[in-house]
Structure 1
């Protein structure tokens, strides 16, 4: 009986952790300061911002002539959900974090707020972007 219990419980726990990450995976569209842009979360842990056809982030991109990458991490144990982006210069390893918060209003709509400073936003206000899933 103990083995049967383990056989069913472990897969359910593993499934729930993958499902949480997959909730964010996809392409999201939003508007910020009257500009339409996209935020992409992939299933390998990379994220990218796309505004006016310019992509910043992902597995490999160039910014000011330097090659970089942008990864993300999500903390579901907090309310609101914490979303952190890490921009890393590939050559030097130097990195910078962008701290954000998120909350789902439904499975395809996300309130999102982020800060380029060292302080994480704590609430959703006038700087909040509403993102809609497009993929």
Structure 2
């Protein structure tokens, strides 16, 4: 009888743990507003992993945009296994699905509505901290 109780308890615990879906945080998904040297810009990180930058009325990224005469898209990936999270912005040539370039960055979710980001521009390496090339973004609620 003790063996039966132990097995029942074991199966109950296994069922309980398997019924929860452990998913990633993804609190970074949404539209964000940031200010850099007095200029205001937006970044949108969609749930289907497309990234869009808006600055001074210009839009770059998303599912389809023109980059140097090429039909391109911009996607992003986030590695949540590190703190801060690693983020890659990937520009893709839609004609042949080849990678045009990649911006490497890091993000830190300060609160669900505040995100700090640092990006290595011009193909430089991923920043290791937020001491330079960083912007604080606030969730944009329309």
Same fold (TM over 0.5): yes
Task: Give 1:110's aligned residue.
Answer: 115
The alignment of Structure 1 onto Structure 2 pairs a total of residues equal to 131
Q: Give me the whole-angstrom Cα distance separating, in 2, the residues matched to 1:111 and 1:59.
A: 24
Corresponding position: 1:63 with 2:71 = no
- The residue correspondences of 1:41-56 to structure 2 (distance < 5 A) are 41-56=45-60
How far does residue 55 in structure 1 lie from its aligned partner after superposition? 1.1
Task: Give 2:15's aligned residue.
Answer: 7
Structure 2: give runs of 5+ residues left out of the alignment: 1-7
- The SS at the match of 2:128 is coil
Q: Give me the whole-angstrom Cα distance separating, in 2, the residues matched to 1:31 and 1:67.
A: 28
Change (3 A) 1:25 1:11: farther
How far does residue 59 in structure 1 lie from its aligned partner after superposition? 1.1
1:131 to 127, 134, 137: 137
**Greater helix share, structure number:** 1
* Alpha-carbon RMSD: 1.6
How far does residue 3 in structure 1 lie from its aligned partner after superposition? 4.3
Q: Give me the whole-angstrom Cα distance separating, in 2, the residues matched to 1:90 and 1:106.
A: 35
Contact 2:89 2:103 survives alignment (8 Å): yes
Q: Give me the whole-angstrom Cα distance separating, in 2, the residues matched to 1:132 and 1:124.
A: 16
TM-score by length of 2: 0.83
TM-score by length of 1: 0.87
How far does residue 68 in structure 1 lie from its aligned partner after superposition? 0.6
Task: Give 1:76's aligned residue.
Answer: 80
Contact 2:71 2:95 survives alignment (8 Å): yes
